[in-house]
Structure 1
């Protein structure tokens, strides 16, 4: 007979812990993206020749295929960890886990929605810098403000049907 009493909700992480996991994962993602950039760089050398890359002229900067590649690698990084275990390395370090609202695992579709909603903070930073010509630091500041707002309102959780919870301690 199933237990009729509702289970208590798992504890939610505080803002400092959540932001620390974001910073940790962002540093790891930067390394992953640097390695992933070797693929288009190698293809670019084959297509454009090595002379196109001399004197800090990179024909791949702003190229739609290159940008798409980096977004796909970023999603593979986050989505892969969320779908397979619910924890990126940053989440594991800060003892957090992403799970479905019902406590189950996260599928690829909710992971994609979480990724896209979580990445919305980049829009103001990119728009201010590339379209309006605002400096890098003010644009980045506006983007980080939007990231903080996204985390505080849990926008990515509401639209993806996922929650970030404190991970239960594993028995030794």
Structure 2
């Protein structure tokens, strides 16, 4: 049972998870914007070069990824909830109701984010087709929850985690 003695009921409906994800996307956009502003200030506005071809430094892309990953991992490890999960009263736990481990958090993040590798196809497929393909894969990732009695998505199966309602 969680430390705050809140009762956990399984499973969480998919629509709640997706709405929580929408909230988290807004948080991630805000985080990315703040990191971008700080990096622009640190480089005196010369972070991204434009011209015949736009160039975004690799260190900046890696920094953005690390900061976004830190948001999710720290949220899952500290209370099992991201900011987006709180208003929907859902929490990430281990299959047995225990707190999520660091290893589970890392693997969950990697599995959930794995479809982003498809963005490497942009030069070949074009941006529009790549984004539609990415959306289709993520839809399949979550559609699994419609058929699982415990409403687990692909990343839940991979990590032995579950998203549960709080009551």
Q: TM-score range by the shorter chain?
A: 0.7 to 0.9
The aligned residue for residue 128 of structure 1 is 121
Q: Judging changes above 3 Å, is the alpha-carbon distance between structure 1 residues 60 and 88 closer, same or farther for their aligned structure 2 residues?
A: farther
TM-score when normalising by structure 1: 0.77
1:103 corresponds to 2:97: yes
* Structure 1: tracts of 5 or more residues without a match: 1-8
Q: Which has the higher contact order (CA 8 A, sep 6+)?
A: 2
In terms of Rg, which structure is larger? 1
* Structure 2: tracts of 5 or more residues without a match: 1-7, 145-152
Size of the alignment, in residue pairs? Answer: 151
Q: Compute the displacement of 1:98 (Å).
A: 0.5
SS in 2 for 1:165: strand
Q: Compute the displacement of 1:80 (Å).
A: 0.8
CA distance in 1, matches of 2:72, 2:87: 15
SS in 1 for 2:86: helix
The structure with the largest helix share of the pair is: 1
Q: Which residues in structure 2 correspond to 1:135-146 (within 5 Å)?
A: 136-146=127-137
TM-score when normalising by structure 2: 0.79
Q: Compute the displacement of 1:61 (Å).
A: 4.3
1:79 corresponds to 2:73: yes
